[in-house]
Structure 1
Amino acid sequence: MSTLERARCSLKAHPLALDAALAAGVLACMVAGSFVAPKGAHGVTWGVRTPDALSLLLMLLGAAALVFRRRYPRAVLAVTGTVSLVECVTGDPRTPVVMAAVIALYTVASTTDRPTTWRLGLLTTTALTAAAMLGGPLPWYAQENLAVLAWTGIGATAGDAVRSRRAVLQAVRDRAERAERTREEEARRRVAEERLRIARDLHDVVAHHIALVNVQAGVAAHVMDKRPDQAKEALAHVRTASRSALDELRATVGLLRQSGDPEAPTEPAPGLSRLEELADTFRSAGLPVAVARTDEGTELPAAVDLAAYRIVQEALTNVRKHAGPGARAEVSVVRVGADIEVTVLDDGPGEATAPESGGGHGLLGMRERVAALGGTLTTGPRHGAGFRVHAILPVDSRTETRTHTRTTAPGEPV
């Protein structure tokens, strides 16, 4: 930091000292100006006139008042205006006592609003100019009287210009700060949404594959002694399911890597193109799954494709966990107009063991996925037995539709 910058910072930190220095400078200028008299049309003469004691006293009072111009701007203007008025009427109007009033008027204009500046500026200018013209010893048209009008007007105008500039700069700073806060809030919102999406994906992956591993491990333990071949087959399914879980977890967690990391995932997110593969994993776990599709040839947006896949995955996982042995599941994917409808049904015992409509992270994750795409989700027990999950997803995810999610009451037909 340079010497000039250090001095500027020090003066800003001590405004009273700065005003005292300004007051001393103004006093020196007024005293020096009181010894100067015009000489013809081209110069001035020093020492031709000498100020009287009253003029010196008025100059001293006006300069002393300027020390407090920041704290009490209107009071200082009143004091300096009064001493200038007294000098204009009783003394030599050429004595520059009015300089203190000009500084005070500038301070008022730079620290208040424009209406206040107009009122006080007109009052001060009119009073001092009228006093000099009507009550002073010089003719009313003397240039000293016109100088009072000019200098007070300049003081008020300069102060108003400085205040306006400060207001403009402050408005620019405020807009920049608001824009920065908006960017930070938007970044935090996007980070929160991405964390929520990754959490949903992790839940779907872990819940699905761990459920399959649990089932196959139970089968292997049950038939280990009597049917070793079947136990070996079950363990092979466990290994396949665990490998798939690790691959999907690696792909999901890999999204958190930096773009320059060499191990960033390149495999696309799962979609309905892997629906049969998903159904086969449940069939190998002992859950019969029938798949019906009438959406062949429909190209879905990536977000809709992933959401449909995860909804089927979570719904089948819930069937395997809650429907009980002997249950069957049916999956249908149908294109209806501008929407894709995904339905998962089972014929398990239904209400007694069905997942609660309002609890669990699985159904909550489904609702959040559907809500994010502007679709409709309906879940609840079927009439008689079983459970039903029905999702309607807009094929064009950019279409702005009113989000609506509903859970069917236990006694309401689906």
Structure 2
Amino acid sequence: MTDPGGGGARPHGRWWSREAAVTAVTFVLCLFGGALTVDDRSLSPPPAAAYLIAVVSCAVLPARHRAPLATVAVTTACGMLVPPLHLLVSPLIVAPVVVAAYAFAVRADRRAASAVLPASAALLVASEVVVAYGTVSWQDASRMAAVAAFPLVAGILGHSTQNRRAYLAAMEERARRAEESRDAEARRRVAEERVRIARELHDLVAHQITLANAQATVAAHLFDVRPEQTRTSLRELVETTGDALDGLRATVGLLRQTGDAAAPAEPAPGLSRLPTLLESFRRAGLEVSVHHEGTPRPLPPGLDLTAYRIVQEALTNVTKHAGTGSARVRLAWNRDRVTITVADDGRGAADGRGAAEPPPTASTGSGASIGSTASAEFTASTGSGASAMSARPPGYGLIGMRERAAAVGGRLSAGRRPEGGFLVSAELPLPPARGADAAAAVEAPAAGGGTGDAP
């Protein structure tokens, strides 16, 4: 059953054992108080009236948990019968009133206890004063003061117990909510970490795999007509897949480490690697032109990585879906933002990009160039390859690019152009400029092409 006082579930037998012990001790104290007299120095057996008071007042004590006010009323009434029955009013004979007062103070609010308990004490004293009117001695007055004080002290202790229980309950509730919050936070972080790991794994291998697919397609197309270029393309394919395996091996090894890595093996890619990234696409047959507008500025590492990944993913989608051999990258630098656009005029499987592809990866690419003649072959071969890719389930590339842009406070849009082809546009916020030499730090990205620079 439930203990109303403790607020928790207690075994049935334990509750009855406690109640029996409290009632028995109170009964003995009440009966002992009924045997006391003022003048007699020897202890005589308690009279029948003492038994009556003890039995009736103690019989209602087990009900103090469910009906504390009624228990106080009954025990107080029994205490008021003590003087008319010619028994000595003492703190012992009103022990049931003290127990009932404590139980009432534990369960009632402070205002109710402040009204009921002083009234009970006043009634006990008044019954003695009425019966012994005119013959009250100083000894009687001190005894009545003790009788009145005991229920009040019990009420104070009961109220303190109530406050302590409320405090413990509040602490338990706070601990429970904190644990729930920790669990929710842990689940949220696990979900975010899963997305981050998936994105990073994709970034490490998707670009190389896309280039490998393009190189294999070109090699297959040139196998009969240009054997030398086929061998060059196959060498490029071997190196590209080797880079992908190395990146995948490094990432999996990092994920299997039990502790934190001391330092990354190499810095995260940024716009300083843009020329190398574009060269890897050119070796696969995609001609990319880069246009800079405004004054380039150094970017924070996170923003620099985001800009790099957006360009990389957009060009990867051109390679996979557009069915064209050229793309245009534009970086417009303003006072408070940089706008990145990647456009193509392909007529290929652009619908596959509209659904979303996973964000590709950093790759340096290596090996000899296929040559400018591969560009035309690339356009023809990727046209059929893009159709095959479009039949595959859509990926998460556009979703990943939007997530990256939103993470740094920017925004990204993507869709078909009215004049044909596909356009990806991202606006990323820039930190305040710190000096006139800000452009020098990004001179390397500009090497990939100045304004109107077409490789």
Tell me if 1:105 matches 2:104.
no
TM-score by length of 1: 0.82
| Residues 316-361 of structure 1, C-alpha deviations (whole Å, 9 max, x = no match) | 11111221133x1112333322222222111212796562267741
Alignment of 1:74-223 (within 5 A): 74-94=69-89, 96-135=92-131, 139=136, 142-223=141-222
Change (3 A) 1:13 1:303: farther
Q: Would the alpha carbon gap of residues 390 and 13 (structure 1) be closer, same or farther in structure 2, given more than 3 Å must change?
A: farther
1:138-195 Cα distance to aligned partner (Å, 9 max, x none)? 6286222222210111111110011112212222332333333333322332222222
Native 8 Å contact 1:357 1:380 kept in 2: no
Check 1:336–1:71 CA distance in 2 against 1; reply closer, same or farther (3 A cut): same
Please state if 1:16 is matched with 2:16. Answer: yes
Alignment of 1:291-370 (within 5 A): 291-293=290-292, 298-326=297-325, 328-349=326-347, 353=351, 355-356=353-354, 360-370=395-405
Q: How many residues align?
A: 383
How far did 1:301 drift?
2.4
User: Distance in 2 between the 1:325 and 1:10 partners?
Assistant: 78
CA distance in 2, matches of 1:208, 1:222: 21
Instruction: Look up the SS of the partner of 1:267 in the other structure.
Output: coil
1:370 CA displacement: 1.4
> Partner of 2:81: helix, strand, or coil?
helix
Give the distance between the partners of 1:78 and 1:258, measured in 2 at CA: 72
CA contact (8 A) 2:105 2:162 kept: yes
Give unpaired runs (5+ residues) of structure 1. 1-8, 398-414
* TM-fit CA distance, 1:363: 0.8
Tell me the distance in 2 between the aligned counterparts of 1:232 and 1:13: 89
Relative contact order higher in (CA < 8 Å, ≥ 6 apart) = 2
In 2, Cα distance between equivalents of 1:73 and 1:354: 75
- 1:383 counterpart (418, 421, 439): 418
CA distance 1:362–1:336, change in 2 (3 Å) = same
Deviation at 1:298, TM superposition (A): 3.2
Instruction: Assess if the C-alpha contact under 8 Å between 2:34 and 2:47 holds in 1.
Output: no
**CA–CA distance in structure 2, aligned partners of residues 272 and 294 of structure 1:** 15
Deviation of residue 37 (structure 1)? 4.8
8 Å CA contact 2:322, 2:344 repeated in 1: yes
Contact 2:322 2:350 in 1 (8 A): no
The CA RMSD measured in Å over matched residues stands at 3.1
CA distance in 1, matches of 2:296, 2:250: 27
Contact 2:35 2:50 in 1 (8 A): no
Does the 8 Å contact 1:367/1:377 carry over to 2? yes
The answer to whether the 8 Å contact 1:37/1:46 transfers is: no
Distance 1:241 1:263, change over 3 A: farther
Report the counterpart of residue 241 of structure 1 in structure 2.
240
Secondary structure at the counterpart of residue 330 of structure 1: strand
Identity %: 42
Q: Unmatched 5+ residue regions in structure 2?
A: 1-8, 357-393, 433-455
Q: Judge conservation of contact 1:323–1:354 (CA < 8 Å) in 2.
A: no
Amino acid at match of 1:163: Q
Bigger shift: 63-72 or 334-343?
63-72
Give, as a single letter, the amino acid of the residue that structure 2 aligns with 1:301.
Answer: P
In 2, Cα distance between the equivalents of 1:113 and 1:396? 59
Residue 184 of structure 1: SS of its match in structure 2? Answer: helix
Three-state SS of the structure 2 residue aligned to 1:14 is helix
Cα 1:174–1:287 change in 2 (3 A) is same
| Candidates 49, 53, 59, aligned match of 1:58 | 53
